[in-house]
């Protein structure tokens, strides 16, 4: 099997897993909304929960879109050794690493007490690294314009 086919299959599956993570994101809404309302000051609870829900819905949609783009680029770009497919996947990987790093740094420490938040951030970081590191190692394999 050519290295392009291996990457194509692996990243396609990774894209599907990312889509699944977006779906799980929505499934966890109720639990995380209750958890957020417990942390909020009672007089600001509705505002905090509403802001959290808007953020959570938006990020869930974005995670699903990232998974769709990763799957598409791997299926139609990486499988044929196309540079654009490798570049799109690399960009997605770097974006996930940057986003998760910023959230680790910026997020108030009380949110890191939730296993769901830690699992989500670890997943983002892991997927980003799984995309970036192998592509950088095998970049020369994707030389078709």
Higher-confidence residue of 15 and 44: namely 15
What Cα–Cα distance (Å) separates residue 14 from each residue in 40, 46, 48, 56, 62?
A: 35, 36, 33, 21, 15
- Report yes or no: 78 and 4 within 8 Å, Cβ to Cβ: yes
Q: For residues 27 and 79, is the Cβ–Cβ distance under 8 A? A: no
Query: pLDDT tens digits for 86-134?
Result: 999 999 999 989 988 998 898 887 777 778 778 878 888 988 998 999 9
DSSP state letter for 82: B
Which residue in this structure is represented by tokens 């699903």?
64
Check pLDDT > 70 for residue 70. Answer: yes
What's the number of domains the chain is made of? 1
Tell me: pLDDT of 15 over 80.
yes
Range of the domain at 75: 3-141
Contact in structure between 1 and 57 (CB atoms under 8 Å): no
Which residue bears the tokens 């819905």? 57
> What one-character-per-residue DSSP string does 110-127 give?
GGGGSHHHHHHHHHHHHH
């Amino acid at each position: 099997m050519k290295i392009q086919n291996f990457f194509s299959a692996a990243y396609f599956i990774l894209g599907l897993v990312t889509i699944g993570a977006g779906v799980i994101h929505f499934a966890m809404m109720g639990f995380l909304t209750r958890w957020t309302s417990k942390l909020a000051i009672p007089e600001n609870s509705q505002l905090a929960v509403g802001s959290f829900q808007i953020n959570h819905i938006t990020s869930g949609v974005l995670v699903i879109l990232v998974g769709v783009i990763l799957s598409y680029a791997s299926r139609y770009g990486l499988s044929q050794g196309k540079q654009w497919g490798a570049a799109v996947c690399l960009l997605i990987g770097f974006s996930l690493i940057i986003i998760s790093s910023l959230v680790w740094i910026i997020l108030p420490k009380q949110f890191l007490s939730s296993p769901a938040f830690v699992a989500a951030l670890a997943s983002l970081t892991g997927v980003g690294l799984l995309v970036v590191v192998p592509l950088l190692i095998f970049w020369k394999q994707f030389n078709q314009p």
